[in-house]
Amino acid sequence: MSITTLAAARTHLGQRHNKTGEETFLSFEKFPYTGLSKTYCVDRQVADSACSATAYLCGIKANEATIGVTAAVKLSDCAAMSNKSYHVHSVAHLSQLQGKRTGLVTTTRVTHASPSGVYAHTANRDWEADTDIELAGNDPKKCIDIAQQLIHGETGQKLNVIFGGGRYNFLPNNVTDEDNKPGWRSDNRNLIKEWEQLKNNTKHKYINDLNSLKNLSTDTEYVLGIFDNSHMAYNLDRDVKRKPSLSEMTTKAIEILSQEKKGFFLFVEGGRIDHAHHDTLARKALDETIEFHKAIEAAINMTNSDETLIVVTSDHAHTMTLNGYPSRGNKILDIGGKGDDKLPYTTLSYANGPSAVNGSRPNITTHNLEDPDYKYPSFVMLDSETHGGEDVGIFASGPWAHLFTGVTEQHVIPHILSYASRIGNYTNRLDYSSSNKHVNSLLLTLFLIVIGFFQKYYLVY
């Protein structure tokens, strides 16, 4: 969700409502405080979602493709990842220690890189199931897979809400799921049933479709909602009668988590923005961003900004550009102008990706740009478009949101979250709210005195 993605998505949103589009705002763009996040990893200029999730959830920078561990753990180092002294814990874990409810919502697999930052400790983001570890030539009994960590791990087992996709990582490869698709595990374990057994003495529910989500009681203590075999479908491809939207999952998560008087922590990811960009599917990337905007809008409407801090940011950027000199109100997903070769180009294009061409550019006036699966042009041919390394936005509203300003190292974000919610190292911090009121009153008094002084001076003069 780069700055370019935001600019293009807000324009697309406005144009859906018959406006020129450029003047439109996404819900979180109206937040009172904004900043920039520096996203690099310890060993990479351009981050992946594993090291970046570790940064903005656990408070340290890590190596590429590692999650919830320090930089002492190199990629695929099973022995190092098993060393608990190298583990780092997320804001969710620290919230749990203070009796808060916790949850995660994503449109990707719940074992994917970003949501895994909430609960996992691994040397390889791809080790989502035991089969992945075996195929990498390692022992899954020594390197615990991410799905198993979600169900049995110190943080994962205490999550009150888990919504997303990725069912196959929890099921044996000799069974099929509710969508008649096979599992992936080689250890013959059904982690969904194991989760249910662990929650036997609580009010819990496993759900797998939209109807079950809608009917889920808000007094449920624990819910595991796995809605697809792998990633959830893009919103433009979604079966709206069977599969929930990101905003529907977010709404239900807040309803359940807010039952706890001590408060809650919720991670919400519009993860398929990233996937659409990797395939240069600009239309789907913008639509997924708009779905994310709707989810944040739902959260805003359900919470009180006096007591709830909402922070919106990105793992990293992408290489999509918004370029040329198209007229005001020109469709953002359409042709933006012509090159010196007299051939048209799209307003949106990518620096690299699977849609580059060898030789002369095609005449895209014959292409169906309305097709959701149209791959927008890229310059350098790659199987998958890469991330971008520029800073990404931070948008904040609520208590202590003013700390999210300026250019910030990405790993500072969870320290501010911890400070604001009095968890981790900040559990016993002083509460400055009352003293702030005195300071504000003092400043106001001084301001009035100064104004009075100048008024008097002016009248005497």
* pLDDT tens digit sequence for 255-289: 999 999 999 999 999 999 999 999 999 999 999 99
- Quote the percentage of the chain above a pLDDT of 70: 93
Buried b or exposed e, range 93-121, using 16+ CB within 10 angstroms: bbbbeeebbbbbbbbbbbbbbbbbbbbbb
Tell me if 211 is assigned to some domain: yes
CATH of the domain at 213: 3.40.720.10
Contact 126, 138 (CB under 8 A): no
264 and 144 share a domain? yes
- Two structure tokens written together for 259: 């039952």
Range list of H helices, 33-141: 49-58, 78-81, 91-97, 113-116, 130-135
Beta-carbon neighbour count of residue 433 at 10 Å? 8
- Is 438 found in the same domain as 425? no
Asked whether residue 246 falls in the same domain as residue 357, the answer is no
Distance of alpha carbon 119 from alpha carbon 151, whole angstroms = 10
More confident of the two residues 135 and 359: 135
What's the average model confidence in pLDDT over 350-356?
A: 94
Let me know: does 129 contact 169? Beta carbons within 8 Å. yes
Name the least confident of 196-200, 344-348, 439-443, 455-459: 455-459
H-assigned helices in 258-400: 272-278, 282-302
DSSP 148-169: HHHHHSTTGGG-SEEEEE-GGG
Whether 327 is in a domain gets the answer: no
Other Cβ atoms less than 10 A from the Cβ of 135: the count is 12
**pLDDT tens digits for range 21-63:** 999 999 999 999 999 999 999 999 999 999 999 999 999 999 9
One domain for residues 64 and 152? yes
CA–CA gap between residue 263 and residue 430 (Å, rounded) = 19
435 vs 416: which has the higher pLDDT: 416
Quick one: pLDDT at residue 188?
A: 98
Feature table: binding site:
112, 114, 269, 274, 278, 315-316, 387
State mean pLDDT over 381-405: 97
Q: C-alpha distances in angstroms, 257 versus 102, 220, 266, 328?
A: 7, 9, 8, 44
Residue 244 and residue 341 in one domain: no
Q: Of all residues in the chain, what percent carry a pLDDT higher than 90?
A: 91
Q: Are residues 446 and 362 in the same domain?
A: no
Residues annotated within a binding site for Zn(2+): 274, 278, 315-316, 387
Query: Which domain covers residue 374, as residue numbers?
Result: 335-381
What integer best gives the mean pLDDT of the chain?
93
Annotated binding-site residue numbers for Mg(2+) = 112, 114, 269
The pLDDT score that the predictor gives to residue 433 is 54
pLDDT for 356-375, tens place per residue?
888 788 999 999 999 999 99
Res. 429 pLDDT band, cuts 50 70 90: confident
For this structure, is 85 an active site residue?
no
Instruction: Enter the tokens of residue 236.
Output: 């433009």
pTM summary value: 0.93
Whether 100 shows a pLDDT value over 90: the answer reads yes
What's the pLDDT at 294? Answer: 98
Confidence of residue 187 (pLDDT cuts 50, 70, 90): very high
Model pLDDT, residue 45: 98
The number of beta carbons lying within 10 Å of the beta carbon of residue 278 is 18
**Cα four-point dihedral sign 420, 423, 425, 430:** positive
From the list 2, 49, 355, 397, the catalytic residue is: 49
Interhelix angle 246-257/282-302, rounded to 10 degrees, is 30
Please tell me the predicted confidence (pLDDT) of residue 432. 59
Per the structure, the count of domains in the chain is 3
